Structure 1
Amino acid sequence: MTLQTLNLMPGDKPFRADPKNSYTLPARFYHDAEIWAAEKDAIFYKTWYYAGHVSQVAEPGKFLTVKIHEQNVFVARSRTGELNAFFNVCPHRGHELVSGTGKKNIITCPYHAWAFDFDGNLRSARNTENVEGFRKEEFSLKPVKVEVFCGLVLVNLDENAIPFAEQMGELESEIRHYVPSVDDLQFAQRDTYEVEANWKVLMDNFLECYHCAPAHHDFVDLVDMDSYRTITCGLYSSQCAGQPRTMNARAYKFEAGDVDFGYAGWFVWPNFTIWAYPGEANLSVLQMNPTAPEKCVEYQDWFVKDGEVTQQLRDAINYQKDVLQPEDIGLCESVQKGLKSSGYNQGRFVVDEGLTELSEHAVHHFQKLVAGALGARLDPEAEQ
């Protein structure tokens, strides 16, 4: 990649490997259209992307769809029980095959009625029996790599991708430690948020709790911040609190259950996060989906036992939906405006020796992954 904007430019301070001695990524990384376009190939078309939950495709014929920038994919359960993923496009003339989620006996293109099974084979194509040399096997759907991880369905457009579980090291054992009944959880609901900010602004915000005390009063009432620690681990990071501050918090009230800690959250490269709140067994995914250099759609999917939301879980979900998310969205949209200001280009990471709940080392970890994926050269000493 040869974009000049990816390299150190006049006025830039160095982005260094050591977070204690580094400035943040320059502001242009959060609004430059060329950088945003470069991220598609360098990041999103080469990494594992959250698509949904295995409970949404538990039966033969059930499917879900996911869009990765311009690339549309569907995941479906075949008649023999296999979970398959394909590019969501008809090989005849390019029409989209399915949308949303649902269940079908066969996939029929709405344009010319070409029909495919859930193994991707072309089963029928009207009038092609009269086309000389036509061979159905030449028009199978193009497969996409798919995996299930702790109930999460993940897809990857890179056919040579390393398996997700292999990339993520101890992530599965961490999730199962905090939510031991994760295999019993089912999809409950999706909440959608449209945000006027670059997707990386939202990721940066998730990855530090330096802002929690001034901005999230109910969260710090719920969680024991003295035990809140963030640990970076390759392509993910964890941020967990050992215990709740109270079970009678302003955020919501709960009794000790399967989830008996204060809070557990994980960032997963490149653009989704996993959450577990204290109380009854639960897990959620908050995914940041870029739609423009300065716009993003967030999806938060909730998974609970048997897919049924109890009153306690409803209170937790409503707190996230009505309080915490609006607080964070307001912060991120204000940051996005500031990133366009002539008075700002870079800040410094606040990283203390103890890597406490106030430390921003995980933000640096994420920004380093971004810079590395893009091939950015922002540290003059590293080039010597």
Structure 2
Amino acid sequence: MTVPVLNLSPGDAPFTESPAKSYTMPARFYFDPAIYELEKSAIFYRSWWYAGHKSQLASPGCFVTTKVHDQNVFVVRARDGELKGFYNVCQHRGHELLSGSGRTNVITCPYHAWAYDFEGTLRSARHTDRIKGFKACDFALKPVRVEEMCGLVFVNLDMDATPFAEQATGLEAEIRRYCPAVDDMVFAQRDTYDVASNWKVLIDNFLECYHCHTAHKDFVDLVDMESYRSRTCGIYSSHCSGAARTTQSSAYVFEKGDVDFGYAGWFVWPNLTIWIYPGEPNISTLQMIPDGPDRTIEHQDWFIPTPTPSAQLRDAMVYQKDVLQPEDIALCESVQKGLKSRGYNQGRFVVDEELSELSEHAVHHFQKLVVEALGADLDPASASAAAAAPAGTGA
């Protein structure tokens, strides 16, 4: 069924294949409730979703829970060492089985005590031995896909989804280049932010440094902006710079680590960003979780060599939490207000031939993924070409 808000509307300029020629997505894509609802099934129920870290699943029985919109799932370390993922719901009357994260010997429903093993098999259900024809095998937990990359654990509700590694070819190698000790990282802390902005505004903001000189003076002092480049590839994009301008920046003070660089970041479709700061080994994730058309919950998880950060890593974490995040949140909340203005609908991507640190081509890459996932028709030229193409050929 066609959703009218997805089509080119009067007053819309085209969203095209070329970022240098394209206008941005129309403003309604950031606040229309119909689009927000469509995103659930078209994007999130079929994409790889960050669920946690292997250090939180260190031994059999360790589990983490996460919600993909309204779909509650959990990942558990099975007795054979494998990671298993399931919908977090008892097959008796629908009560949620687990909450938060932790460790258990058996997965027991708090409602009627139906119990499951780590393979999702129903092992105990009181009084069901008196039910004729009752078969425990008919009430196993429903599985979800699970994959791990650099210690990060992902789930996918689509059992037929293309493997994460195939969709993000090259990402793991890039992360290991900037953090060779990534396999030794452990969970340290989670910082949470409630932002009055659509999730896509936050992603757009991450994907360009056109705003960095005006909005992030400490970040610009930390990062060598002349070497900062954004590169797009499949379902991810990288945003990295060369050697830091100084180890005594106004952001924080550090000593050079295993790799000499100023900053490395990645966007992973649909709603995850990965950060590595210079200095001692570290990696963090910042996940943008939609909480309505105009609101997003952000979780930033930090992974470092030990659960307790060193003084240098603590300074980096404080800078992120107390300086950079508030700067970005203020920008994005203002953009969300502006997108509803009757005086705005679309802008242009600022893209240069060199794809410099100021270029917004990675924003176009993300918005193109959104447009394609939703099946939106925003380019009359491509639609005309498709209509004119002979039968049996592609446009």
TM range (shorter): over 0.9
Whether the aligned pair in 2 keeps the contact of 1:259 and 1:282 (CA below 8 Å) is no
Which position in structure 2 is the counterpart of 1:163? 163
Which position in structure 1 is the counterpart of 2:260? 260
**Deviation (angstroms), 1:306:** 3.2
- SS of residue paired to 1:208: coil
- Equivalent-residue separation in structure 1 for 2:228 and 2:358 (angstroms): 9
Which position in structure 2 is the counterpart of 1:365? 365
Whether the aligned pair in 2 keeps the contact of 1:259 and 1:276 (CA below 8 Å) is no
**Where do 1:90-239 residues align within 5 Å?**
90-239=90-239
TM-score by length of 2: 0.96
Whether the aligned pair in 2 keeps the contact of 1:259 and 1:280 (CA below 8 Å) is no
Deviations 1:236-261 (A, max 9, x none): 10010011111001110000112420
- Equivalent-residue separation in structure 2 for 1:375 and 1:352 (angstroms): 28
**Deviation (angstroms), 1:367:** 0.2
Give the aligned CA root-mean-square deviation in angstroms: 0.7
TM-score by length of 1: 0.99
Which amino acid is the alignment partner of residue 272 of structure 2?
Answer: F
Which amino acid is the alignment partner of residue 301 of structure 1?
Answer: D
Which position in structure 2 is the counterpart of 1:341? 341
Which amino acid is the alignment partner of residue 155 of structure 1?
Answer: V
Which amino acid is the alignment partner of residue 89 of structure 2?
Answer: V
**Deviation (angstroms), 1:328:** 0.2
Which amino acid is the alignment partner of residue 308 of structure 1?
Answer: T
Whether the aligned pair in 2 keeps the contact of 1:188 and 1:309 (CA below 8 Å) is yes
- Equivalent-residue separation in structure 2 for 1:102 and 1:192 (angstroms): 19
**Deviation (angstroms), 1:46:** 0.6
Which position in structure 1 is the counterpart of 2:54? 54
Which position in structure 1 is the counterpart of 2:389? none
Which position in structure 1 is the counterpart of 2:244? 244
Segments of 5+ residues of structure 2 without an aligned counterpart are 385-395
Deviations 1:79-134 (A, max 9, x none): 22121000000010000000000111111101111011111111100100111111
**Deviation (angstroms), 1:356:** 0.6
Which position in structure 2 is the counterpart of 1:356? 356
- Equivalent-residue separation in structure 2 for 1:81 and 1:210 (angstroms): 45
- Equivalent-residue separation in structure 1 for 2:29 and 2:270 (angstroms): 15
Which amino acid is the alignment partner of residue 78 of structure 2?
Answer: S
Whether the aligned pair in 2 keeps the contact of 1:259 and 1:277 (CA below 8 Å) is no
Which amino acid is the alignment partner of residue 377 of structure 1?
Answer: D
Segments of 5+ residues of structure 1 without an aligned counterpart are none
- Equivalent-residue separation in structure 2 for 1:360 and 1:349 (angstroms): 6
- SS of residue paired to 1:333: helix
- Equivalent-residue separation in structure 2 for 1:241 and 1:156 (angstroms): 31
Deviations 1:331-379 (A, max 9, x none): 0000000000000000000001111111000000000000000000001
- Equivalent-residue separation in structure 1 for 2:307 and 2:362 (angstroms): 32
**Deviation (angstroms), 1:196:** 0.4
Deviations 1:258-308 (A, max 9, x none): 242000000001100110000000000000000100100001001111333
Which position in structure 2 is the counterpart of 1:23? 23
**Deviation (angstroms), 1:309:** 1.0
- Equivalent-residue separation in structure 2 for 1:334 and 1:136 (angstroms): 54
Structure 1 runs, 4 residues or longer, greater than 4 Å off: none
- SS of residue paired to 1:278: coil
- Equivalent-residue separation in structure 2 for 1:70 and 1:258 (angstroms): 41
Which amino acid is the alignment partner of residue 342 of structure 1?
Answer: R
Which position in structure 2 is the counterpart of 1:72? 72
How many residues end up aligned between the 2 structures?
Answer: 384
- Equivalent-residue separation in structure 1 for 2:2 and 2:271 (angstroms): 24
